[in-house]
Structure 1
């Protein structure tokens, strides 16, 4: 009578260990909509860590989580930053831009870095619209960046205007 109980207990321990293993190694741990930081992005995959979207190092927001590293990010007007985490799968990232803040292209990756509102490549986020293909207000030199997932339209205005 003791033997079946021991077998069931051993099976339960193995099942729990397998669940924990797959939870921590079976694909990206980030979730759509949350903000992340990337470190050690290399051929072996990036280390991805969740962070609050208001944090200074929160350069990216997760648009889509794909279980297969060969999967495709959503098609749209603007390109997602595609990252293969060390834990597997693929993340389709969009920049985490804050309304009213200024940014310039970052040299080290395909992202934007916060900036004081000066310089030729600097843009100011005039509006963030929670709709893909949202209408940015008419304005001189206003540029929109559109992402399907999560539905987001960034309205950007250059800080430095070239004289006509």
Structure 2
């Protein structure tokens, strides 16, 4: 009788441990991320990738988290300047990512993963970030609004004022 009680208790502990491990594995890194945090994306394949938080000044931090969706099939906000959507390999849901532009920096589009890589402020398609407007969702406050362009995102509200560089 005592052996069967011990066996039942052990079985319950094994099941409980399995549940804890499954919750930790499937809740993953994305649930711990917050909007506005910078992330590194690696092993980008289709709409899935390895996503980890990183310091915004890091060369690996090419994206910021805009919005976190609980469903992998969810849609990022529909805006002119599109978010890059990624389903993290570890965890559930979907991340709506925007570029991590730093004021004064130059960037060039990287078509392999929909990101913008840091550039030497030269070359075709390269832009310079003339101003970053936090809390603003349009380019009316950009200093070069007549000659430049802007990228505006509603979540988190931010506008990047961009100016093309000479090739």
* TM-score normalised by the chain length of structure 1: 0.82
Q: How does 1:14-163 map to 2 (within 5 A)?
A: 15=16, 18-26=19-27, 28-29=30-31, 30-43=33-46, 45-87=48-90, 88-130=92-134, 131-135=136-140, 136-160=142-166
Cα offset, 1:76, TM superposition: 2.0
Unaligned runs of 5+ in 1: none
Q: In 1, distance between residues paired with 2:47 and 2:65?
A: 20
Q: How many residues align?
A: 158
Higher strand share: 2
Aligned-pair RMSD on alpha carbons? 2.5
Q: In 2, distance between residues paired with 1:22 and 1:54?
A: 32
CA displacement 1:105-137 (0-9 Å, x = unmatched): 114221111011112221110000012225212
CA displacement 1:50-96 (0-9 Å, x = unmatched): 11100011100010111101111122231100111112211100000
Contact map agreement 2:139 2:161 (CA 8 A) in 1: no
Unaligned runs of 5+ in 2: none
Higher helix share: 2
Q: In 1, distance between residues paired with 2:54 and 2:126?
A: 25
* TM-score normalised by the chain length of structure 2: 0.81
**More divergent stretch after superposition (97-106 vs 73-82):** 73-82
Cα offset, 1:141, TM superposition: 2.2
Q: In 2, distance between residues paired with 1:111 and 1:43?
A: 14
